[in-house]
Structure 1
Amino acid sequence: MQEIEQLINVLQVISSKNIQSFFSHKSKSLEGEFIENVTQGNFKTDTEAAYKLYGTDQSDVRFKMLKHRVKKKLHNALITADITTGRLPLRREVECEKLLLLSKILLKQKEFSIVLGLCKKIKTLALEFEFNDLVLNALEIELECLTSQGGLKLYKNSRDEFLKYSEIVSLEKEAASLFQLSMVHLKSTVKNRKLYLGELPNLITRLRTIWDETKTFSCFYYFYRTSMLFYELIGNFGEIIKITEEAESLVRANKINAQRFETNLNAYMLIYAHLRTKEFSNGLKYASDFYNLFDSNTKNWFAYMENYFLLAVHAKNYELASVLLHRVRSNTSYNIITKAAAERWQLYTAYLYFIDSSYSILEGFNYQKFITSITEYSKDKQGFNVAILILQFLYFLQKGDTEGLLYRIESLKKYILTHLKDSFSLRSKLFLKLLMLTVTENYDAASCRLKGAKHYQKLIETPAPGDAYAEIEIVPYEHLWELILDAMPA
């Protein structure tokens, strides 16, 4: 059932055509009924579908044959569908692929004149979008035609082009391979990422050389993405700002293909880099300027809004943060985001509630219920464990629950010894020690400020680490400490 759901989803994404139009028009078609119920979410499992359609279980051969026919028709629909949604490059790439398939069929029938016309069309389309591998494929077919037809001059011209694009595509494949190798390592465990980081500078140098040699979009893209990943992981967000601004400049100067360049990704990373370099004023300006680049019905919009919201919080513009949170929570597409993303937004909401619970968007938020529901967070919350521990501590601190706080102090001590042993965890370790001080100093603000001065100063002097290892500071620790002290008796 899952495969059929995925195929339907892709077909709906790429084509505005009604899904039922790809199936039988008979009013009582089982295929149509099956598709309709899957699309509407009525059939979640094979068992439900088989019982509804045949009054039996999923082992029924009739149901198995129905699923086979539906899958086959979905495959054919995906191959033949006119792509009417999404970005233009994808539509043109698929168009070229279909023309290449048609050319190969006609080549086998020795319809050389038709094939040459198709190859010319493929090259025109592919060159506009710098699909150099497709240009190469068209030239290969063209050479077969000219070989059979004769005509030495045309053949030599085509062969020269073929050799030129063979070199280009070879370098693009090398760049793709290097990028893929990096991605696989960097999506692995923290340990593997740390080990691989040392290899990335040389790899990036090679990618830059390939781009300088070819000047193709694909080679630029692999250099750009790998560089961004590297500088994000080592925490050099100033370099990311340079890269994103350089990319915008290259697009404006027509030095990279604007039709294939991911303006949204570049905008997202530019905003994120400003957040991490603490350039909040410029970051908020960019975030406002780029806001309309993102469709509010997509997951990308919600991801963008996370950075926008955090920029507002880190800039202490809590009014703006509440407005952005309202946009997110009132968005009718909120249910499309992943479970992890929804949990992050819950955390953001809880932190804003701690800062100031008077904002209208927080009226229906059950702060106490949320705190008690996050007592068991697992490894899949990597990057937010400290944020959750802090939030729980703050809740009991607000209540003045000394018994609950003493229990959590022991938990914090164990967490520090087990998980915050590396230098990149220093900020979290320092802040947790400050939190514990609030209890040992009996909630006395002056005493906490005095005895915590050394830790607080070190916290200010310690920069946030790169994303390979960093725990997320939803509210900067320095800001949180001041909020805590302000809430205590003087």
Structure 2
Amino acid sequence: MQEIQQILKVIVTSSSKGYLSNYLLKGKSLESNFIGGIIHNEFNSDGEAALKLYGTDQSDVRYKMLKYRVKKKLYNSLLTIEINNNDLAFQKEVECTRLLNIARILLRQAEHQLAIGLCSKVISIAKEYEFNEHLLSAYEIEIAALTNQTSLKVFTEKRKQYLEKLIVVNLEKEANGLHQLAKAHLRGTVKVRKTLVKELPAIINRLKQIVTEANTFETFLSLYVTSILYYELIGNFSEIIKITEDAVNNLNKGKTNAARFDIKYNAYILIYAHLRTKEYAKGLVFANDFYNLFKPTTRNWFAYMENYFLLAVHAKQYELASVLLHRVRSNTSYGIIKNNAKERWQLFTAYLFFIAPSSPVLEGFNYQKFITSVTEYSKDKQGFNVAILILQFMYYLKKGDTEGLLYKIESLKKYILTHLKDTFSLRSKLFLKLLMLTVTEDYDAQSCRVKGAKYYQKLIETPTPGDAYAEIEIVPYEHLWELILETMPK
């Protein structure tokens, strides 16, 4: 069942609107009922499907054969579906793949002229979109076909083109391989990431050499994404701004393939980098300018809104943050985002409740229920564990719950000793010490301000670390400390 659900998801996401209804759901056959039932969530397991369709369980041989037929039909449909126009480059890439497959069949059947004719179409598309690997394959088929033709001159010219393109494609493959190597290491442990940081400068230098040699979109893309990955790891977001702005300039000058370049990803990274460099005003201008690039019905829109919301909060524009949160919470496509993304929005809502509780968007939000139900520490919430601890502490502080605060102090001490031992955790460690000070100084705001001055000053002087290691500051710690001092119960 899961495999069929995944294929259907790919077809629905990739194909032209209505493809399934036009080609797979005709009539009232068991196959169409089976597919329709999955799409409309009438059943989510083999047991439910077998019972609905045959009045039996999933071990029924008739149900097993039905699944086999449907699975085969769906896989075959992936070879023939019309890709939607939202991703024109992908549409053209799929078209090249199909034409090359047909050309190989024709070549096998000795229909050389027909094969060459299809390769000509592939060559035209591949040159426009810089699909050099497809271009190389087309040259390869042409050469095989021309081997059986009489014109040695044409054969020699095509072979020369093939050999030139072979060098380029090999460079592209090397560049792509270097990027994949870096990306794979990024998913490892913190220790693995630290090793990667040391190796990345050499990888980037090699990528720059490859770009100089090949000068293709694929080699540029490998350098572009790997460079962003590296500077994100070391926390140099100013360099990321430069990379994204240079990319747009080159795009406007026609130096980058406009059909292939992902302007939405570039906008997303540019906004995020401004958040991390604390250029909030400039970042908000960009965030507003690029807003219409993203469709509200997509996950990318929700991801973009996270950075937009955080920019507003960090800029202390809480009214704007409330408006953005309302857009997210009222979006009818909210259900499409993953659970961890929903949890982040819940966390953002809770922080906004603390700093701007009178905002209309917070009506109906059960702050107490959220605080008491959220897990204190889990790998699922990696990047937000400190944010959760802080929120829980502020909840008890706002209530004036001395007993609860004494308990939380022990939790904070334990967390610091266990999880905040590295230098990249210094900001979080300093802020948690400031929080503990509120209890030891008996909730006296003036005393906390004086006794906490050294921690606060060091907090200001400590930059945020690279994204590879950092806990997310939903509200800057400096802003939170001022808010806590202002609202501290007497």
**Normalising to structure 1: TM-score of the pair?**
0.98
Cα contact 1:299–1:337 (8 A) shared by 2? yes
Please say which of residues 339-348 and 368-377 is displaced more in the overlay: 368-377
Deviation at 1:488, TM superposition (A): 2.6
Partners of 2:265 and 2:174 in 1: how far apart?
23
Q: Aligned ranges for residues 30-429 of structure 1 at < 5 Å?
A: 30-429=30-429
The C-alpha deviation readout for 1:217-266, integer Å capped at 9, x for no partner, is: 00000000000001001100000001001111111111111110010110
Alignment-mate amino acid for residue 168 of structure 2: I
Alignment-mate amino acid for residue 17 of structure 1: G
The C-alpha deviation readout for 1:154-185, integer Å capped at 9, x for no partner, is: 11111111011000000001111111111110
Partners of 1:50 and 1:41 in 2: how far apart?
14
Please say which of residues 143-152 and 396-405 is displaced more in the overlay: 143-152
Cα contact 2:132–2:165 (8 A) shared by 1? yes
Deviation at 1:5, TM superposition (A): 0.7
Partners of 1:184 and 1:395 in 2: how far apart?
39
Cα contact 1:22–1:77 (8 A) shared by 2? no
Cα contact 1:13–1:86 (8 A) shared by 2? no
Deviation at 1:190, TM superposition (A): 1.7
Partners of 1:429 and 1:264 in 2: how far apart?
35
Partners of 2:113 and 2:443 in 1: how far apart?
87
Percent of aligned positions that are identical? 64
Give 1:457's aligned residue: 457
Partners of 1:225 and 1:285 in 2: how far apart?
24
Cα contact 1:426–1:462 (8 A) shared by 2? yes
Give 2:24's aligned residue: 23
Alignment-mate amino acid for residue 330 of structure 2: S
SS in 1 for 2:213: helix
The C-alpha deviation readout for 1:411-446, integer Å capped at 9, x for no partner, is: 101111111111111100000010011111111111
Partners of 2:263 and 2:27 in 1: how far apart?
45
Cα contact 2:19–2:81 (8 A) shared by 1? no
Deviation at 1:376, TM superposition (A): 4.3
Please say which of residues 164-173 and 371-380 is displaced more in the overlay: 371-380
Deviation at 1:86, TM superposition (A): 2.9
1:480 aligns with 2:483: no
Structure 1 pair 299–140 and aligned structure 2 pair: CA distance change class (3 A): same
Partners of 2:153 and 2:81 in 1: how far apart?
39
Structure 1 pair 270–325 and aligned structure 2 pair: CA distance change class (3 A): same
Cα contact 1:13–1:85 (8 A) shared by 2? no
Partners of 1:26 and 1:328 in 2: how far apart?
39
Q: Which segments of structure 1 move beyond 2 Å, counting only runs of 4 or more?
A: 20-27
SS in 1 for 2:475: coil
SS in 2 for 1:53: helix
SS in 2 for 1:79: coil
Alignment-mate amino acid for residue 18 of structure 2: K
Partners of 1:375 and 1:203 in 2: how far apart?
39
Partners of 1:207 and 1:137 in 2: how far apart?
24
SS in 1 for 2:165: helix
Cα contact 2:427–2:459 (8 A) shared by 1? yes
How many residue pairs are counted as aligned between the two chains? Answer: 489
SS in 1 for 2:79: helix
The C-alpha deviation readout for 1:279-326, integer Å capped at 9, x for no partner, is: 011100000000001111101000000000000000000000000000
Give 2:436's aligned residue: 436
SS in 1 for 2:86: coil
Alignment-mate amino acid for residue 145 of structure 1: A
Give 1:5's aligned residue: 5
Deviation at 1:379, TM superposition (A): 1.3
SS in 2 for 1:474: coil
The C-alpha deviation readout for 1:10-57, integer Å capped at 9, x for no partner, is: 111122134143336333x11111111100011111011111111111
Superposition RMSD in Å: 1.1
Cα contact 1:22–1:73 (8 A) shared by 2? no
Deviation at 1:82, TM superposition (A): 1.3
Structure 1 pair 18–167 and aligned structure 2 pair: CA distance change class (3 A): closer
Deviation at 1:375, TM superposition (A): 3.8
Partners of 1:104 and 1:464 in 2: how far apart?
55
Alignment-mate amino acid for residue 12 of structure 2: Q
Partners of 1:7 and 1:20 in 2: how far apart?
15
Q: Which blocks of at least 5 consecutive residues in structure 1 are unaligned?
A: none
Partners of 1:54 and 1:190 in 2: how far apart?
52
SS in 2 for 1:199: helix
Deviation at 1:377, TM superposition (A): 3.7
Partners of 1:465 and 1:170 in 2: how far apart?
36
Partners of 1:489 and 1:87 in 2: how far apart?
55
Partners of 1:55 and 1:19 in 2: how far apart?
26
Give 1:471's aligned residue: 471
